Amino acid sequence: MRKKNPPAWALGMLQFFCKDRYLEQIEGDLLELFDREKSVRKAKRKFGWNTMRFFRLRYLKGLDDFEQLTTLAMIKNYLKIAIRTLLKQKSYAGINIAGLAIGIASCLLIFMYIAHERSYDNFYPDVDRLYRVGVGERGAYSPPMLAKTMQEEYSQVEVATRLSGLWETLFKIGDRSFMQAGAGFGDENTFKVFQTEFIHGDPETALLQPDNIVLTESLAQKCFPDELAMNKTIEIDGEVYQVSAIVIDPPKNTHFPYQYIAASLESGHNNWTGNSGWTYAKIQDGVPVEEINLKLKELYYKYVGPEIIDFSGHTSFEEFMEENPNRYYGFTVHPVSSIHLYMPHLSMGPRGDYKNVIIFWVITLFILLIACVNYINMATARSAVRSKEVGIRKAMGSHRKNIIVQFLVESMVITLLAVLIALVISATSIDYFNQLTGRQFTITDLFSPSNILSICLLLIVVGLLAGVYPAYIISGFSPLKALRGQMQQAGKKSLRSWLVSFQFAISIFLVAATVVIYQQVTYMQSKKLGVNIDQTLVISNGNELEDKYELFKNQLEQISGIQQVAKMSNVPFSFVGDWNYTIPADNKREVAPSNVFTVAGAEKVLDIEMVSGRFFDKDRVTDTSAVVINQSLAKEIGLENPLGSVLSRGNGLNFTVIGVMKDFNYASLKREIGPLIYRFGNKHGEMGMWHQRYVIVKVNGSDILKTIGEIEDLWDQQVPNYPFDAGFLNDAFQRQYEGERKFGQVFTTFSILAIFIAFLGLFALTTFVLQKRVKEIAVRKVLGASIPSLLRMMLKDFTRLVFLGGIVGIAAAFYWLEEWLKGYNYRIDLSWYLLALPVVLILLLTWIVVSLKSYKAAVANPSNALKEE
């Protein structure tokens, strides 16, 4: 008996990797050395070490050590047979490869898309410690004082920064001027939170001076081609800045795609209630989100509370909260890495949606499954052809295991070919994919290391998924029956039927979804809004007109095609801020309508209908303290006749309601019409010149292009240093549904692909069924069956499958679409015919495919089929 035993792991490892030829002598020597050592611990340690030292190429097992040499030869044989079968049945192989290639190509593109969507902002160092801070639970904007205060009062905040953006601004360099997008304004901490690589300049001092500006590399190149941009001056919207640093361009996958950051102008704003910028913070490692939120809540109570009651007139903040209980009082932090997918409304760049990512993923998986089902169906349906081969192999001594391997090799070969074609398909369709997703992928993204890994993974998974069942079934053939000449049909017919109806179900689901999404988009686009937005031209940057607005307006009204001109601070379908008002007559209850400044004439441009009272009148001086509200706000005020009631902004700013407008949609139709207030706009109001940010013009001439040209000439006369920028309100309205349209496009694409693959499979399956039933059809015909009755017989089976799939597909579609439509306040109702339509479509397609194939068999001379036996 041995007194001590060497570590089992080391011996096991040696036995695993070492060639049998060397194993005994090495083990022997190792054991001898082991026994010689006095200390057991030392012996064990040495034994392990020495074992590992034998891990040399010379002792490693090679290919020939694992199995007998015949395995290699057999795999060669399998490959040869696989390629021969493939060439022998070109059309079947073609259908399989085409289907799988399309499925795999969609998978590759979607994998790339998902990887991209999930990678947003992960390139920032310490991204797991970066947070966006907002008001309430989801608010995007935050008070100007927040960043500095939280950094000062809360030691766990490493650094906090305040930003605003991203805007479009006017650049002037020498005698060149152009509009430049991607403008951010930030304080000196911006690049401490968003760390990036500096090409020139110092991150510590880059934004310290109020006239500092940091350019990205590409913008620096654009502004100062072929010279160093450092310390050069640029005039931005009239202010002069000096370039203090140049940084590398931020990558594509960021929610903050800035082109430049200028030192913030807003240092003077010291309030806690005007939420006007973004706040970001870097928090110390390991501080949980709940703790940060709790701490920030204290800040809210300490600073925001007093300012709120100052203006609302309550005696304490607690009392105010009690009366307005439906709000979250505090700030919340959101991880920067989750903004793109989970908090897209906080993003300044491309917006993602995790729901879309999941939906795309599921649909691609479905398409891949349809293609796999094709393979399974065709392989099992055609298995009879291979039964003799299997019989002979078994008679020659093949194990079932070997035959399974053979058929798996075959499915792998097909999958490999499909993958190669899929690479070509995905590379060529990348432009279309970019258009669908609104991203900018290039072919290099397609061949990123992670995507290459998924290509290999797909190869194995799809090869197994498609191949395992047929291989398992075919390998079970009895050699005796096979060699005696009895045809064996593998797999149950019922399983094939189930798989086919599964394909129908997916196709019907996708078609139903496509139809409903387009119906909803059409419905929203043609919905009566309550205002007339046709032929309404919106001229941006009206604030640049300053006091020349009246002059400009008069000039415009001279043009023959122009009926009416007015100005507004916010036009419909663009962002409108909610402003707080109190109702002094109702115990200072608070309302928060969307707040817009406008003037007399707007009601004529937009065709606003008044329910009671009147719109502004430019001849009445008292209208500066008058407001017009919509029905929704009137309802919130709660009076039967709200005319004459007073709304207060605090500090003695009181406004009298002079009219009630009929509700109209001024925002997306996803939401219901919220309360809206129209204030009289002039430059002494709370928004200054921004009250005339937009000039709205009703254009009614026959030659609209000419009219716009004339308007542009007039603008250039009045504001020579600012480019003319105008667009039609209707376009802005349509643009709101861009996302839905793209969504619809995605579904159309996927439905077409799914139907295409499924019907390829159906076509092949019909061909095969007909081949098997050709004698039956001939006998029936001889006995007097008519051609229509024969066709009916063939169609009956498939019709049943379509209905079976239809029930499942429609049920799933109904459930999901009902859920999807819940996101829209103005929505279509799901009617039976919307959902029956896809079933009818698929049924018709099925009939066409099956009849085309069957007709040939039905009209054929039965003697041809019967003469051979």
Partner 1 sequence: MKNKSYQLGELEELVLMIVAILQENAYGVKVMDEILDQIGRKVNISAVHTVLDRLEKKDFVSSYMGGASSERGGRRKRLFKVTATGSKAIAYVHQTRNELYDKIPKTVLGFQ
Q: Interface with partner 1 by CB under 8 A: which range of 52-60, 342-350, 519-527, 636-644?
A: 52-60
Q: Which residues pair with 169 in a beta bridge?
A: 180
Q: Which is nearer to partner 1, 52 or 362 (CB)?
A: 52
Q: Which is nearer to partner 1, 50 or 632 (CB)?
A: 50
- In angstroms, what is the minimal distance from the CB of 45 to partner 1? 14
Please tell me the distance from the alpha carbon of residue 302 to that of residue 290, in angstroms, as a whole number: 19
Q: Which is nearer to partner 1, 36 or 90 (CB)?
A: 36
Cα dist from 84 to 74, 206, 210, whole Å: 15, 69, 76
Please tell me the distance from the alpha carbon of residue 409 to that of residue 421, in angstroms, as a whole number: 18
Q: Which is nearer to partner 1, 13 or 127 (CB)?
A: 13
2 belongs to the binding site for partner 1 (CB under 8 A): yes
* Residue from 795, 809, 807 nearest 852 by CA: 795
CB 803 within 8 A of CB 839: yes
- In angstroms, what is the minimal distance from the CB of 60 to partner 1? 13
Q: Which is nearer to partner 1, 30 or 790 (CB)?
A: 30
- In angstroms, what is the minimal distance from the CB of 31 to partner 1? 4
Helix (H, G, I), strand (E, B) or coil at 750: helix
- In angstroms, what is the minimal distance from the CB of 41 to partner 1? 19
DSSP 671-730: SPPPPEEEEEP-TTSTTGGGGGSEEEEEE--S-HHHHHHHHHHHHHHH-TTS---EEEHH
CB 692 within 8 A of CB 549: yes
Among 3, 53, 484, 684, binds partner 1 (CB under 8 A): 53
581-583 and 589-591 strand pairing: antiparallel
Residue 360: Cβ-neighbour burial (10 angstroms; 0-12, 13-18, 19+): buried
Please tell me the distance from the alpha carbon of residue 697 to that of residue 716, in angstroms, as a whole number: 17
28 belongs to the binding site for partner 1 (CB under 8 A): yes
2: enclosing H helix or E strand: none
* Residue from 536, 534, 529 nearest 695 by CA: 536
25 belongs to the binding site for partner 1 (CB under 8 A): yes
Rounded to 10°, the helix 90-118/738-782 angle is: 160
Torsion over CA: 657, 661, 663, 669 (sign): negative
Q: Which is nearer to partner 1, 46 or 635 (CB)?
A: 46
Q: Interface with partner 1 by CB under 8 A: which range of 20-28, 150-158, 635-643, 653-661?
A: 20-28
Please tell me the distance from the alpha carbon of residue 743 to that of residue 518, in angstroms, as a whole number: 9
- In angstroms, what is the minimal distance from the CB of 50 to partner 1? 6
Q: Write the interaction track for partner 1 spanning residues 29-48; mark x where CB under 8 A is met and - where it is not.
A: xxxxx-x-------------
Q: Interface with partner 1 by CB under 8 A: which range of 21-29, 211-219, 379-387, 710-718?
A: 21-29
Q: Which is nearer to partner 1, 31 or 495 (CB)?
A: 31
Alpha helices in 729-831 (DSSP H): 729-735, 738-782, 787-821
Q: Which is nearer to partner 1, 11 or 461 (CB)?
A: 11
- In angstroms, what is the minimal distance from the CB of 61 to partner 1? 15
Q: Which is nearer to partner 1, 36 or 176 (CB)?
A: 36
Q: Interface with partner 1 by CB under 8 A: which range of 54-62, 440-448, 494-502, 521-529?
A: 54-62
Q: Which residues pair with 159 in a beta bridge?
A: 282
Please tell me the distance from the alpha carbon of residue 697 to that of residue 534, in angstroms, as a whole number: 11
- In angstroms, what is the minimal distance from the CB of 37 to partner 1? 12
Please tell me the distance from the alpha carbon of residue 97 to that of residue 761, in angstroms, as a whole number: 11
Binding-site size for partner 1 (CB under 8 A) equals 18
Among 10, 43, 54, 96, binds partner 1 (CB under 8 A): 54
Q: Which is nearer to partner 1, 24 or 713 (CB)?
A: 24
26 belongs to the binding site for partner 1 (CB under 8 A): yes
- In angstroms, what is the minimal distance from the CB of 499 to partner 1? 56
Please tell me the distance from the alpha carbon of residue 344 to that of residue 334, in angstroms, as a whole number: 11
- In angstroms, what is the minimal distance from the CB of 62 to partner 1? 15
Please tell me the distance from the alpha carbon of residue 49 to that of residue 239, in angstroms, as a whole number: 72
752 belongs to the binding site for partner 1 (CB under 8 A): no
- In angstroms, what is the minimal distance from the CB of 19 to partner 1? 11
651: enclosing H helix or E strand: none
Among 3, 38, 41, 58, binds partner 1 (CB under 8 A): 58
823 belongs to the binding site for partner 1 (CB under 8 A): no
Q: Which is nearer to partner 1, 25 or 494 (CB)?
A: 25
Q: Which is nearer to partner 1, 22 or 123 (CB)?
A: 22
3 belongs to the binding site for partner 1 (CB under 8 A): no
Q: Which is nearer to partner 1, 28 or 313 (CB)?
A: 28
Q: Which two tokens stand for residue 347?
A: 């993003």
Q: Which is nearer to partner 1, 31 or 559 (CB)?
A: 31
Q: What share of the chain is helix, strand, coil (3-state, %, to 5)?
A: 55, 15, 30
Q: Interface with partner 1 by CB under 8 A: which range of 51-59, 737-745, 803-811, 815-823?
A: 51-59
SS (H, E, C) 580-619: CEEEHHHCCEEECCEEEEECCCHHHHHCCCEEEECCCCCC
**Interface residue list for partner 1 (CB under 8 A):** 2, 22, 24-33, 35, 50, 53-54, 56, 58
